[in-house]
């Protein structure tokens, strides 16, 4: 097996990865089918944004509680339950569409139920990786997961757009339901080495949540990474709201163009995932997270200032590339740097700020698109990323400089007051 794909040497991971390859294509078909269906039923970007809000609201409300529970049960069992429930929801939505009884309210309720399932599914999948590949190949596994996700983002929207154009949105939902069979079969074949955290006497749910938050806030690398993910996760990942509106109102195109733009985003994201896979042995770098965050912010502004299909496709591809560099690097940083007993709690907070912040981002994007148009919404989202990211970077740079000065002063004290020509202790490298 190539050194670039060494996570696939693990039998358990191969089953998991192959199941995801099939299932994620169906997921992307449902994503674009649902967005286009809502926009067709309502004609409102704000109501489309509300669907995204309802889908991620449970993650916002319950993710921290989920993180304290996940480590107390085998993760394989949790994933079998969540994937089966997701499959049943997809079948239910397809039945409503085929019966001609689908309404906006039904889609809203199903989005909320899917979000409730994902509240447990997302952090479980994130922390399950280390049980099936180990620490050495974890970053490569995360990069391969991103590669699979974005290959599906290329293939899924293309198939979904064709399905909607010629057969109707109901087929997107039906095929998504069938695709879950592959991932459920793969999970049944996996024999992981589970980590189940022992219950501590007197450690209630709220106390464990507080303990996890204190652990992150006390670690500069974890804290800065979480803050960056909060900003980018909130304002940069509103594709399901802005791309269909941009397609209809700025480019004046239909379903096929929407699928094409989503595929452009997927091509860039696939290149990002391949890049991270090739460099995974070098480990995650904070500098890469920061550079990617700035690039994504600027690309959002540029996308809002153009109305060309060709340039839009290029900008979406570049955006996809740096989105994946950012997300994969941050995810790997958190999982590899966190202590084992805190990993699920750290990843539940990651899910909270990365996906759970989406209700805020979707509502903001939907409102901005309603008020200023899709182009104005892209510019607004870009600025809402750029300003906080700049402040976070400056804040932690100042903290590192202060730590370096304190370390130098402490060294001078312990050496009895070193002379000017003596070397000082270098700054704390916890964030490098």
> Quick check: 1 pLDDT over 70?
no
What is the number of domains present in the chain?
A: 1
* 419 within a domain of the structure (yes/no): no
CATH of the domain at 74: 1.20.1250.20
Lowest mean pLDDT among 23-32, 237-246, 300-309: 237-246
Tens digits of per-residue pLDDT, 371-410?
888 889 999 999 999 999 999 999 988 887 777 766 666 6
Higher confidence at residue 399 or residue 106? 106
Mean pLDDT to the nearest integer, 216-228: 90
Q: What pLDDT was estimated at residue 138?
A: 77
Q: Is residue 109 part of a domain?
A: yes
Cβ atoms within 10 Å, residue 218:
9
Q: Give residue 367's pLDDT band: very low, low, confident or very high (50, 70, 90).
A: confident
pLDDT at 163: 81
Q: What is the pLDDT of residues 322-336, one digit of tens each?
A: 998 998 889 888 888
pLDDT (average), residues 285-300: 93
Q: How confident is the model at residue 414 (pLDDT cuts 50, 70, 90)?
A: low
Check residue 423 and give its pLDDT: 33
Would you say residue 426 lies in a domain? no
Structural domain of 361 = 3-191+205-402
DSSP SS3 for 71: coil
Residue 93 CB burial class (10 angstroms; 0-12, 13-18, ≥19): buried
Mean pLDDT of the chain: 82
Which pLDDT band, with edges at 50, 70 and 90, does 422 fall under? Answer: very low
pLDDT single digits (tens) 50-82: 887 788 788 878 877 877 777 777 888 999 999
Residue 33 in tokens: 């089918």
Q: To the nearest whole percent, how much of the chain has pLDDT over 70? A: 88
pTM: 0.71
More confident residue, 149 or 387: 387
Residue 412 within any structural domain of the chain: no
227 in a structural domain:
yes
| pLDDT above 90 (res 4) | no
Residue 367 placed within a domain: yes
What is the structure's pLDDT at 425?
31
**Nearest Cα residue to 344 out of 82, 66, 131:** 66
Mean pLDDT confidence for 8-26: 86
Give dist(CA 82, CA 78) in Å, integer: 6
Residue by residue, DSSP assigns 201-249 as TT--HHHHHHHHHHHHHT-HHHHHHHHHHHHHHHHT--HHHHHHHHHHH
Dihedral of CA 252/253/259/260: which sign?
A: negative
Structural domain includes residue 196: no
Residue 204 has pLDDT above 70, yes or no: no
Mean pLDDT of 44-48: 81
Q: Say if residue 100's pLDDT is above 80.
A: yes
Let me know if residue 415 belongs to a domain.
no
Within 10 Å of residue 10's Cβ, how many Cβ atoms? 17
Report pLDDT for 230. 92
Q: Is the pLDDT of residue 231 over 90?
A: yes
232-249 mean pLDDT: 84
CA dist 98 and 108 (Å) reads 18
C-alpha to C-alpha distance for 14 and 9, rounded to whole angstroms: 7
Predicted pLDDT at 185:
93
Maximal CA-CA distance, the chain: 84
Least confident of 78-87, 89-98, 163-172, 288-297: 163-172
Q: What is the pLDDT of residue 181?
A: 93
Give the pLDDT score at 340.
Answer: 73
- Residues 245-274 have pLDDT tens digits of 888 888 888 777 887 888 888 788 888 878
pLDDT at 314: 93
Cβ atoms of residues 359 and 232 within 8 Å? no
């Amino acid at each position: 097996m190539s050194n670039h794909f060494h996570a696939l040497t693990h039998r358990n991971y191969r089953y998991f990865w192959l199941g995801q390859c099939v299932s994620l294509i169906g997921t992307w078909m449902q994503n674009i089918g649902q967005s286009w269906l809502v926009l067709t039923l309502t004609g409102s970007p704000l109501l489309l944004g509300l669907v995204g809000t309802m889908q991620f609201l449970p993650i916002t409300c319950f993710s921290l509680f989920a993180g304290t529970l996940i480590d107390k049960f085998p993760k394989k069992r949790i994933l079998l339950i969540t994937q089966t429930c997701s499959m049943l929801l997809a079948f239910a939505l397809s039945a409503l569409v085929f019966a001609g009884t689908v309404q906006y309210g039904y889609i809203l309720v199903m989005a909320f139920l899917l979000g409730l399932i994902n509240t447990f599914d997302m952090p479980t999948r994130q922390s399950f990786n280390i049980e099936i590949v180990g620490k050495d190949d974890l970053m490569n596994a995360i990069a391969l997961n991103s590669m699979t996700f974005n290959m599906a983002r290329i293939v899924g929207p293309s198939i979904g757009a064709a399905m909607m154009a010629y057969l109707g949105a109901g087929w997107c939902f039906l095929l998504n339901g069938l695709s879950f069979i592959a991932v459920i079969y793969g999970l049944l074949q996996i024999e992981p080495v589970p980590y189940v955290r022992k219950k501590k006497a007197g450690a209630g749910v709220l106390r464990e949540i507080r303990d996890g938050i204190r652990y992150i806030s006390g670690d500069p690398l974890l804290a800065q990474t979480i803050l960056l993910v909060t900003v980018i996760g909130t304002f940069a990942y509103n594709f399901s709201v802005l791309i269909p509106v941009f397609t209809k109102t700025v480019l004046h195109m239909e379903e096929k163009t929407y699928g094409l733009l989503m595929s452009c985003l997927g091509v860039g994201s696939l290149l990002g995932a391949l890049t991270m896979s090739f460099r995974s042995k070098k480990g995650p770098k904070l500098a890469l997270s920061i550079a990617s965050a700035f690039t994504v912010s600027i690309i959002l502004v540029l996308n809002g200032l153009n109305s060309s299909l060709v340039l839009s496709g290029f900008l979406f591809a570049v955006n996809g590339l740096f989105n994946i560099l950012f997300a994969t690097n941050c995810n790997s940083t958190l999982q590899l740097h966190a202590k084992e007993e805190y990993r699920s709690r750290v990843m539940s907070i990651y899910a909270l700020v990365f996906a759970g912040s989406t209700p805020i981002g979707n509502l903001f994007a939907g409102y901005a698109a309603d008020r200023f148009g899709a182009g104005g919404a892209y510019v607004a989202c870009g600025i809402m990323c750029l300003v906080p990211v700049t402040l976070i970077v400056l804040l932690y740079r100042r903290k590192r400089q202060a730590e370096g000065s304190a370390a130098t002063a402490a060294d001078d004290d312990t050496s009895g007051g070193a002379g000017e020509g003596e070397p000082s202790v270098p700054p704390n490298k916890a964030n490098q």
